[in-house]
Structure 1
Amino acid sequence: MKSLALDLHPPARRRHPPQWFPIAALTPSLLVLSVFFALPMGMMIGMSFAQTETFSPTLEHYQRFFTDRLSLAGFCRTALMSLLVAISVTVLGYPVAYFLARSTTRWRAVVFALALAPELAGVVLRTYGWLIILEDRGFINDLLLHLGLITSPLPLSKNLFAVVVGLTHVVLPFGILSLMTSIQGIDPNLERAAQMLGASRLAVIRTIVLPLSVPGIVSSMLIAFTMSASAYATPALLGGAGFKVLATMIYEQVLFYIDWPFASVMAMALLLMMLAISFVGVRYESRRRSRASVSSGGER
């Protein structure tokens, strides 16, 4: 005869953290962000609407920004420079990221170390290195002149090309890490199955890897764009006095012209440009995910 054992001890109740615990845990971070980010941003926004001498409310600085050809040219030049760097970083970093995500050989550690090696040196040091390579009497022009391929130095420095090259070198490790993380999330069995069905390696990358790694591509371009748009040292050194972007123009307005309200307007334009690009990228990725979920649900 079987006996039924009764458990006289009720199950222990799960202890939930008090309601104030999440707020207390977030308080230090929120305090730091409020003091060192929100407060300076609020002061900058308020200063952009203040008159230079009397600090009374005015819109003259915004009117000046949108009517000044130099300011608009600097804004467009910043957007073009950042876009070119974002494309260059993503295109150059994708093959390296794919190798790091799929390789299991000992060369993976070597390539990974080489990809991150530029971050061991400062931005100014790397920029001066490119300045020595690209200037009129630099390594490339001296080599071409010595070989007799050119008769006068090529304009490789003090222009958009030099700045894009220098910023690509600076931002490339971040793009590689972003792309590598995205590619690692793709199941390698999908590639093996496609190859077993007769697809070439190039077709597998074009039809499987690239579409599935779109989040990494968007993330790489956003990181490269925002870092390039706010960069100062590389455009100032490689671009020279004739290559003006918003970061260098803000620096001049603050230190040389002592026009902080107009510098705040430029900083606001730079911030809004980066926020707009980030919003477009995030919006595109969310719509792509929603379309993918709807199509997968319809197939089921």
Structure 2
Amino acid sequence: ELPGRLAILPFRNKVLLPGAIVRIRCTNPSSVKLVEQELWQREDKGLIGVLPVRDSEAAAVGSILSPGVGSDSGEGGRRSPGGSGGESTKQDAKSGKEPIHWHSRGVAARALHLSRGVEKPSGRVTYIVVLEGLCRFSVEELNARGSYHVARVSRLDMTKTELEQAEQDPDLIALSRQFKATAMELISVLEQKQKTVGRTKVLLETVPVYRLADIFVASFEISFEEQLAMLDSVDLKVRLSKATELVDRHLQSILVAEKITQKVEGQLSKSQKEFLLRQQFCR
């Protein structure tokens, strides 16, 4: 169940997708306050919202601890989500503050683990937070609560009943098969390359395909715009099409790299043979 309001953690130039797990270090005072009030003081691990913000529109204060993780960003006043205009931008311009343009869609995240640290000699409190993305939401209203932000949100991802109905669509079934086939080919290539046999193939048969699409894409190094496009792909057909394209592109890049490596190794091998023949001839 998604609450009607969520405290918002900004992700600088990065996107958290449902199903992905990230580990971040919060050092910014506003993010530290959010963690203390919304997560640390709760007996059960709470939910927060993660919203992307652009690199040029927010100050990076946190540090990245793992691939695909955005750092926390600076403070701001009252904001309207998504747009670059509006009263909030005008007010910020008058007050001399740089406006923060939040993306209008984000992901609700569950805190899987929290740890608190104190830096020496400053005594500054920091937090390590492990978050799991759960579902997409749309921001209806975004307001400041002290030093951090809280948004009124509405769920975008389908409910379980809606998903069961959608999965009967022949077009969606065909897209699901195409995605799984491409993903399976990528996994096979990676396993041969790394000489290992993992459990990813089992996940392809057990994890719902709409969730797999997000998880696979979250593991790739892609542009911020492509990450946003995936986040905005609420329609399952659009999401699977985008995910299949990205998985195939990743697969092709590996295959091309392997072909180049084989050609280089072949040329080196040929040169070595010629060198040995010359050495024998000189003797």
Q: Name the structure where strand makes up a greater proportion of residues.
A: 2
By percentage of residues, which structure has more helix?
1
Instruction: Answer whether TM exceeds 0.5 for this pair.
Output: no
Q: TM-score range by the shorter chain?
A: under 0.3
TM-score, structure 1 length as denominator?
0.24
Radius of gyration: which is bigger?
1
Bigger RCO (CA 8 Å, 6+ sep): 1
With normalisation by structure 2, the TM-score equals 0.25
